[in-house]
Amino acid sequence: MLFLRKLVFYCFLIFYAIACPLIILYAFGYIFEPRNLSHVVKTGDIHLSTAPPGASVYLNNKPLKEKTPALISQLLPGDYDIAIKTPEYSDYNINLSVEAGSATVRDNIILIPEKWEYKVCGTRNFSGMIPIEGTDFFIMQKHESSDRAELYNYKTDENCFLQEVQIPAQKKGTVLIVGVELERNSVKVLVWGKKCIGIIDLSKQEDDSNGKKTVTLDWIFASGKDIKKAVWVYNGSHALFLDDSSIYLIDVTSPDFRDPEFLFKIKEESNFFYSEDTGTAYYVDPRTESLMSVEIVSKAIKKTDKK
């Protein structure tokens, strides 16, 4: 038994001593190429991935057995014509260069179908849609002939009505929603039209009298002129909005909805930025055209100079 053990041990040891460096060299891309002068050549790889997967791959017009996502390995350095083909999709052709020891990666190739398949998600008439970034919802703008806007959940393929609550100062009629912003620590959405600002709380879904799911859109401000943008401020307690080159701050938590506070004017046709992390707003001054910043939410009490 001792002899057998030693024999097997040394056989395995010799095998390991030979195989290990060869496998490591192979891992780095080295192959034995008899046609090459040096016989040992460092190769490269091509990695392809497509949507949809499972497409056939052709290398210099020769079909490969790999399907996407595919790793084509042991390629001598040089240029290669790659064709990706799959039924009912247009062919995808590309020329790729392969370098020794490197992997040329072409991932996330979208194959274009020969015929796009369209699906009707809703049968009502809508004038437009606004996706609410960060949620699974779109706001479907109501058509003139429709009585309510809707929220559409693209993941569950369900919709619910948007029940608008209008404040007395608001003029009745269709409010065209221009933009939306999700509050980052909750599921409340700030919504604005040209003259109005409102809030949707996505967590509060109720059934209306017909048993249809509804979500309430509270219009909290309706006296704007040309509201272009609104952002949440201070953990969803306030909103900063741009109305006709003026920046206003409004308290959205007060049940009486105080009048918005005018803060400053910005250069016409320009934009502003607010950082919730620092509580600071940035804008272009209309007079000096300088980039300005102003602390909207103070992080510390300012010390005044004592005279």
Partner 1 sequence: MNFEFSRYNLKERDAFLQRLFEILPGLVSWSVILGMLALSFLKPIIAAVIIIAFDLYWFLKLIYLTIFLVISYGRLSIEKNTNWMERVGKVDNVDSFIAELSSRAASSSFKEKLSLLFARKTLEKIKRQGAVLPPSESVHHLVIIPIATETQDIVEPGIQSIKDSTFPSMRILIVLAVEERASEEVKKGVYAIRDAYKKDFLDLIVNVHKDGLPGEARVKGANATSAAKVAAAYLSSNGISFENVVVSCFDSDTVVHREYFACLTYSFITCAERTRASFQPIPVYYNNIWDVPGFARVLETGSSFFQLIEATNPEKMVTFSSHSMSFKALVEAGYWPVDMISDDSAIFWKSYMRFDGAYKVVPMYTTVSMDIVAAKTWWETIVNEYKQKRRWAWGVENFPILMRGFLKNKKISFYNKARLAFKLFEGHIAWATWAFLLTIIGWLPAIFAGRAFQHTVLYYNAPRIAGTIFNLAGFSLLISIVLSICLLPKQKVKHPFLQRIGFAFQWLLVPVIYLFLSAIPALDAQTRLMLGKRMEFWVAEKGHKRV
Binding residues vs partner 1 (CB under 8 A): 1-2, 4-5, 8-9, 12, 15-16, 19-20, 23-24, 26-29, 43-45, 47, 71, 73, 101-105
260 and 221 Cβ atoms separated by less than 8 Å: yes
The answer to whether 111 touches 55, Cβ cutoff 8 Å, is yes
Burial zone of 42 (CB within 10 Å; 0-12 exposed, 13-18 middle, 19+ buried): middle
State the nearest-atom distance from the C-beta of 101 to partner 1, in Å: 6
- Residue 82 vs 149, nearer CB to partner 1: 82
CB of 63 to partner 1, least distance (A): 21
- DSSP at 65: E
Q: How far is the CB of 58 from partner 1 (least distance, A)?
A: 20
Gyration radius (Cα) of the chain, Å = 32
Cβ closest to partner 1, residue 9 vs residue 262: 9
Q: State which residue, 6 or 124, has the beta carbon closest to partner 1.
A: 6
Contact 276, 236 (CB under 8 A): no
Residues with Cβ within 8 Å of 250's Cβ and at least 6 positions away in sequence, in order, are: 197, 220, 221, 238, 239, 241, 257, 258, 259, 260, 261
CB of 251 to partner 1, least distance (A): 46
Q: Which is nearer to partner 1, 4 or 112 (CB)?
A: 4
User: Is the CA virtual torsion 295, 299, 304, 305 positive or negative?
Assistant: negative
Helix (H) or strand (E) holding 20: helix 2-27
Residue with Cβ nearer partner 1 (47 or 267): 47
Yes or no: say if 276 and 233 are a contact pair by the CB < 8 Å rule: yes
Nearer to partner 1, 21 or 63 (CB): 21
